[in-house]
Amino acid sequence: MIERIWSGWRSAYVTDAPVRSAPAASRSDPDDAGSVFTRILNSGASDVETHIVHRSTTCFVICNLFPYTTGHVLVVPYRAVADLEQLPGDETSDLWSTVADTVSVVRSVYRPDGLNVGLNLGRPAGGSIPDHLHVHVVPRWTGDSNFMMAVSNTQTLPESIADTTAKLTAAWAVA
Contacts of 91 (CB under 8 A, 6+ apart): 58, 59, 77, 79
Cα 147 from Cα 174, distance rounded (Å): 37
Cα 27 from Cα 147, distance rounded (Å): 45
Burial-class residue 47 by CB neighbours within 10 Å (0-12, 13-18, 19+). middle
Catalytic residue among 51, 72, 132, 134: 134
Query: Which residues are registered as beta bridge partners of 102?
Result: none
SS (H, E, C) 28-62: CCCCCCCCHHHHHHCCCCCHHHHCEEEECCCEEEE
Which three-class secondary structure state does DSSP give residue 64? coil
Active site residue 134: yes
Which three-class secondary structure state does DSSP give residue 172? helix
Give the residue numbers marked as catalytic.
134
